Structures are given as C-alpha cells and as structure tokens.
Chains A and B, each alone.
Chain A
C-alpha cells in the first residue's frame, strides 16, 4: 500500500472517531433523559419513554440510517450534513439501548436510599441528583462500555451512505488496489485497537467512579466531601469559564 492510500485510511479513522464521539454524546444524553423518564411518577411520561425505547430498539440501525438520510429530507425538508445525519441516527438508536441500562441501574439502587431521601425532605429532583444517580452511575459503566463498542461497530454502517469513514476508505482502497485481503485485515485490526482502547478507558472510569462511592478495594479520602461541595466546585468552575 502506498502512503497516499494510508492517508486515506487515516482520514477514515478520523471521521470514524468524530462520529463515535458525537453519537456517543448524543446517545448518553438520550439514555439518561429516557432512562430517567421511565422512572417518572406520571404514567404518561413512563409510557412515552417506553414507546421511544421499543421503537428505536425495535428497528435496525441501518434502516434508521437510511430513514434519516432519505426520508427526513423528502418528508420534512431537513437536509442534514452527513456527519450530523449519522450522529442523529446512531445516537437515537443506541440511546434507546442505553436508556434500558440507565433504567436498570436506577431500579437496582437500594429502595431504602430513596426512602432516606424522602425522609430528609429532598425533592424528587434532589433525590435523583444527590442520592440515586451517584450510586447508579458506577454500576452503569460496564454495560455502557459494551454499548460503546457496539456503537463503534455501528459507525461502520454510515459507509453505506457514502460517508468517508474507516470502512468506506477501506472500500476505496480495495477498488484502487484490486485486492481485498490486506486492507480489510488492517481495517479490522484498527477497529479492534479502537475498541480495546475504549474498553480500557471505561474500565479506568469505572474504577474512579466506584472509588467515589466507596465501592473499590482502595477507599478514597475524598469520601467525606459528599456531593454538596462537589456541586459548589462545579458552579464556581462554570463561573470562571
């Protein structure tokens, strides 16, 4: 393979990484919004969130991508830049899977914790933010890590729409060289390396978060801080920025 072709592959890697980051952020936002909505006390909110999950989990990611690329522009007049169309389709689909993770982790928090929040006179929003989520989030990391790898694998689908990601560049190289074995092997290896790095990063994150709620073998001294000073730090940080 010539250096020009490698450059093409590197560009593909960059597009894949961009798409991965954006759609992961969207998927995370959707997961939390829908997952938390599924624990809402009004049945209508729970029902709507459940419908969202069933619809977006029920359909295939590739069908969703086709829909966003071909139907949205015609039906609603929204012509999206390919990167955003891909982000939207992947984020909404994988967000639906993620919402199940959030719901499950929230449901797994000891009910006594929630009751404790009620006894202390916390509002439902405070209970969620200060009691349930800090305990549920560390438990979500391992399934989210798996989902992130699934999302990485899902980003390959946008190549079908002609977006220049890693898989697409592999197809171009195949056409240029008229041979497939080498380039596809390389591309598979690159995907595997990215997945491996992601898994490692998530494992590190899990360790840190679990340490924050006193679940790791090595207890951290910051436990006495509690959530309240943390939010104050966050607010002052926002003020500086």
Chain B
C-alpha cells in the first residue's frame, strides 16, 4: 500500500470547495425537510380523509423508494415537463423531500407527546386554533423532537454524496474528479471518508450537548 502525502495536499483545496457545496446542500436540504415534514404532519391531521389518504400514500411511497432513483427522476423528468433547475437545486429538493417523509413521523410523535391538558387549557382559555398551534402545541412539540431531527440531519449529511450522480461537485464528486485527473484513488477517497466520519462524529457530539440543554 502506497500513501502519497503530496496527493493529499493537492486535493485539500478541492476538498474545501466540495465541503462548501456539501454543507450548502445539507443546510438547505435540512431546512426544506423540516418545513415539508411539518406540513405533511399537519395535513395528516386534517379532518378530511381525502387529504389524509393521498398525503399518507405519497409520503409512504417516497420513504420506501431509493433517494438515488428519486434524484434521477427529478433530474431527468422535470426538464421533460419544462421545469429546469440547477443540479444543486434539484438535489436539495430531492433530499429535502425524501427526508421530510422521515421528519413528519418525528413531528407526529412530538405532537402526540404533548399532554392532553395543554390542549384542554388552550380550549379553556378560548385560544383560536392557529394560536393554540403556534403558541402552545408546536413550541413544546418541537423542543422534544430536536434530537431526533438532528439524527436525520446527520443521515442527510451521509446522503449528500448521492448528489454526485446528478453532476453536483460536492466532496465525493470532487474526489472522483481529482482521482480521474491524477489517477490517484486511495488518497482523496480516504480523505473524504475520514472527513465524513469526523463531521458526523462532531455533529453527534454537538447534538448530545443540545439534547441535554433542551430536554430536561
């Protein structure tokens, strides 16, 4: 086994560029999944089954099919329908949509964990529905679910390399490009492997600290 440090230093500038794109996709994808997931949860609580049923079927379908194929679908099919986005935007949308079907379950559990007394108190105070949600239920529910949402952020981080297949140059894409240009596969691939382990380990430490603060 040969290890060439000059290849590592040659790859580092590319790694930073890739890391930037990875983090960009991660942050935007997380925000989208948090928002969409909440929308799905609230729709699943709609009184009409004509709303609940389609939302349930679609989210179940998205959750049980590979993100990779969904990426291909969005990347190749949307332009056929006349919708053209950049590769990164498509990737962010795919990741956000895919993980929103996970976060919706997290939110649901969080909302169900809010004690019934809170709902009753809101009714007793004659709070309107919107205010009950925004001022009473959601603040308590979201506080509870932050650690679980954080786990999905880490899972999303580990799915960002998939964006490589739709030409986004994130970390793995950069590593592959570098490997093919210099014909050195070992160093860049190992470096990003270590980078992923480090980032997700740091993120999990951060999350544990956050959990201690929020869940008392």
Contact = CB atoms under 8 A, between A and B. Distances in A.
Interface of A: 54-55, 57-64, 66-67, 70-71, 74-76, 149, 152-157, 159-160, 167, 170-171, 174, 179-181, 184-185, 187-188, 191-192, 195-196
Given A184-B76, A184-B77, A192-B61, A60 B158 contact: yes
B77 A181 contact: yes
A39 to B, nearest CB: 21
B161 A63 contact: yes
Contacts of A188: 61, 65, 69-70, 73
How many interface residues does chain B have, given as a range? Answer: 35 or more
A180 B157 CA distance: 27
Given A149-B64, A179-B80, A167 B197 contact: no
9 closest A-B pairs by beta carbon, nearest first, are A58-B197, A156-B66, A180-B76, A195-B64, A70-B185, A153-B66, A60-B158, A184-B73, A156-B68
A170 B69 contact: yes
A71 B190 contact: yes
A171 B166 CA distance: 12
Nearest to A174: B76
Contacts of B124: none
Interface in B153-178: 157-162, 164-165, 172, 175-176
A196 B64 CA distance: 8
A58 B200 contact: yes
A68 B165 CA distance: 18
B92 interface: no
A153 B160 CA distance: 15
B215 interface: no
Name, among B65, B80, B196, B201, the residue most crowded by chain A CB atoms within 10 Å (CB to CB): B65
B179 interface: yes
B67 interface: yes
Interface in B122-171: 157-162, 164-165
A184 B198 CA distance: 35
Nearest to A70: B185
A56 to B, nearest CB: 9
B43 interface: no
Secondary structure of the B contact surface, majority rule = helix
A170 B175 CA distance: 26
Name, among B61, B64, B160, B162, the residue most crowded by chain A CB atoms within 10 Å (CB to CB): B64
Secondary structure of the A contact surface, majority rule = helix
A61 B158 contact: yes
Interface of B: 1-2, 61, 64-70, 72-73, 76-77, 80-81, 157-162, 164-165, 172, 175-176, 179, 185-186, 189-190, 192-193, 196-198, 200-201
Contacts of B76: 174, 180, 184
Nearest to B68: A156
B73 A192 contact: no
Contacts of B1: 75-76
Contacts of A192: 61, 64-65
Given A66-B189, A167-B69, A170-B72, A55 B64 contact: no
23 contacts: A54-B201, A59-B197, A60-B172, A62-B161, A62-B162, A63-B196, A67-B190, A67-B193, A70-B189, A71-B190, A74-B186, A152-B66, A153-B65, A154-B66, A156-B66, A156-B67, A157-B68, A159-B68, A171-B72, A180-B76, A181-B80, A187-B69, A191-B64
A58 B172 contact: no
Nearest to A61: B158
A179 B70 CA distance: 15
B55 to A, nearest CB: 16
Contacts of A159: 68
A138 B149 CA distance: 27
B21 to A, nearest CB: 14
Contacts of A185: 73
Nearest to A152: B66
A57 B68 CA distance: 19
Contacts of B198: 58
A133 B61 CA distance: 34
Contact of B185 (A71, A167, A171): A71
B189 A71 contact: yes
